[in-house]
A = this chain, B = another copy of it.
Amino acid sequence: MTSISIVDIARAAGVSPSTVSRALRDHPRISRQKRTAIHALAQQMGYQPSQIARSLVTGRTKTLGIVISDVTDPFVAEVMKGAEQAGREAGYSLLFATSRRDPDQELLAARLLLGREVDGIIVISSRAAGHYTDLLSSNGTPLILVNHELNDRHAHSVRTDNRDGIEQAIAHLRELGHSRIAFVAGPEGGRSSRERLEAFQEAGSALGLLQFPEWVIAGRGLLEDGLTAFSMLAGLEQRPTAVMCYNDLTAIGLMAAAGEAGVRVPQDISVVGYDNIPISAFAMPALTTVDQPKEALGRTAVENCVRALSGEEVPDVILPGALVIRNSTSRCGPSNRGW
């Protein structure tokens, strides 16, 4: 049931593996007669030429390895989609491995891909960015970090401006008259989590918003976190009139919990998400959110990896986000006090 390797053919032919390898590449140092015989034997044995074996000669495989943090996160899926399109256009195949949001698993996934001789590595949402230096510097494989960065000459960053995104969202709520805004935070250890929370707190201070510690609620960026956050907020004596969420999944979960409890969005409470995943336009009500240029992140990551491979200087890239105003936010009014 195992696949046939060059070593197997060499054994059967009674020659060295390197002779088989050369014969299968039609190397002129191998006689035509021997080449024909080895080709015939390989075919008979069911040998499938391995891209890797070929790449031992060229040193390039035209394949990029992508480490993804969480297959069930629609944000990650949209970044992957952009990467796929750019890979196809540039003539590169993509291999994916997953980290399940775990720093150790992330490094294992990167090693797995490097072991398959990928030309470059892209990491979507790293938790272990600081640990790549040793892994990469020895052979100069380019590393592209999506929404992260690393001070290493082989590492390049493609991200969005979390601070600006949060500032746009909070300014929108402030314009609608909200001054009591809660925040449901993202997963611990994530760079975007930290940046969004810090930006929320700084915007709050700058705009003179009320800030209670119990208005910052822990989360992991999951639908379930929205449920938990809603019941925690509903249990407070001092309730907010609006909630800024780490991501859209959290916001959708929170809106569902509000609906269950008979609390109306946006009449009783305004809700803002982050990411603008496809389903958010179909939520009820349609979700106001900060759009991340997800496909552009994936596309730019692949394009810059290919540029780095061709020896070009590659700049770090920061793509702008943009607030998308839909129906989950409205003017703060009397009913906001009542829920």
A: residues with CB less than 8 A from B are: 1-8, 16-18, 21, 46-53, 55-57, 59-60, 63, 71-72, 74, 77-78, 80-81, 84, 93-98, 100, 108, 112-117, 119, 138-142, 223, 226, 249, 252-253, 255-256, 259, 278-279, 281-284, 286, 308-309, 311
Bound complex: CA of A108 vs CA of B94, how far in Å?
Answer: 11
CB A152 to nearest CB in B, in angstroms, measures 14
CB A100 to nearest CB in B, in angstroms, measures 7
From known contacts A16-B18, A18-B18, infer whether A59 and B141 are also in contact, taking CB-CB under 8 Å. Answer: no
Q: Is the CB of B139 within 8 A of A4?
A: yes
Q: Is the CB of B309 within 8 A of A1?
A: yes
Determine the chain B residues whose CB is within 8 A of the CB of A51 once the complex forms.
Answer: 112, 115-116
Sample of 15 more A-B contacts, CB < 8 Å, known A16-B18, A48-B139, A223-B278: A1-B142, A5-B56, A6-B56, A47-B139, A52-B53, A71-B80, A72-B81, A93-B112, A95-B95, A95-B96, A95-B97, A95-B113, A223-B282, A256-B283, A283-B284
Bound complex: CA of A197 vs CA of B281, how far in Å?
Answer: 28
Max chain B C-beta neighbours (<10 A), residue from A3, A119, A141, A253: A3
Which of the residues B77, B78, B139 comes within 8 Å of A3, measured between beta carbons?
B139
CB A38 to nearest CB in B, in angstroms, measures 15
Determine the chain B residues whose CB is within 8 A of the CB of A113 once the complex forms.
Answer: 95
From known contacts A51-B115, A116-B116, A308-B1, infer whether A72 and B63 are also in contact, taking CB-CB under 8 Å. Answer: no
Which of the residues B63, B77, B249, B284 comes within 8 Å of A255, measured between beta carbons?
B284
Q: Is the CB of A63 within 8 A of B279?
A: no
Which of the residues B16, B53, B100 comes within 8 Å of A16, measured between beta carbons?
B16
CB A254 to nearest CB in B, in angstroms, measures 9
Determine the chain B residues whose CB is within 8 A of the CB of A55 once the complex forms.
Answer: 5
Determine the chain B residues whose CB is within 8 A of the CB of A116 once the complex forms.
Answer: 50-52, 95, 116
CB A117 to nearest CB in B, in angstroms, measures 6
Determine the chain B residues whose CB is within 8 A of the CB of A59 once the complex forms.
Answer: 2-3, 5, 8
From known contacts A72-B78, A253-B282, infer whether A1 and B311 are also in contact, taking CB-CB under 8 Å. Answer: yes
Which of the residues B98, B256, B286 comes within 8 Å of A282, measured between beta carbons?
B256
Determine the chain B residues whose CB is within 8 A of the CB of A100 once the complex forms.
Answer: 84
From known contacts A60-B2, A94-B98, A223-B278, infer whether A81 and B71 are also in contact, taking CB-CB under 8 Å. Answer: yes
CB A166 to nearest CB in B, in angstroms, measures 24
Which of the residues B16, B115, B279 comes within 8 Å of A252, measured between beta carbons?
B279
From known contacts A18-B18, A59-B5, A72-B81, infer whether A139 and B46 are also in contact, taking CB-CB under 8 Å. Answer: yes
Determine the chain B residues whose CB is within 8 A of the CB of A78 once the complex forms.
Answer: 72
Determine the chain B residues whose CB is within 8 A of the CB of A8 once the complex forms.
Answer: 59
Determine the chain B residues whose CB is within 8 A of the CB of A98 once the complex forms.
Answer: 80, 84, 94, 96
List 18 contacting pairs A-B, 8 Å CB cutoff, sorted by A.
A1-B311, A3-B59, A3-B114, A3-B117, A49-B115, A50-B52, A52-B52, A53-B56, A71-B71, A71-B80, A72-B77, A84-B98, A93-B108, A95-B96, A96-B96, A96-B98, A256-B281, A279-B279
Bound complex: CA of A46 vs CA of B138, how far in Å?
Answer: 5
Bound complex: CA of A253 vs CA of B94, how far in Å?
Answer: 31
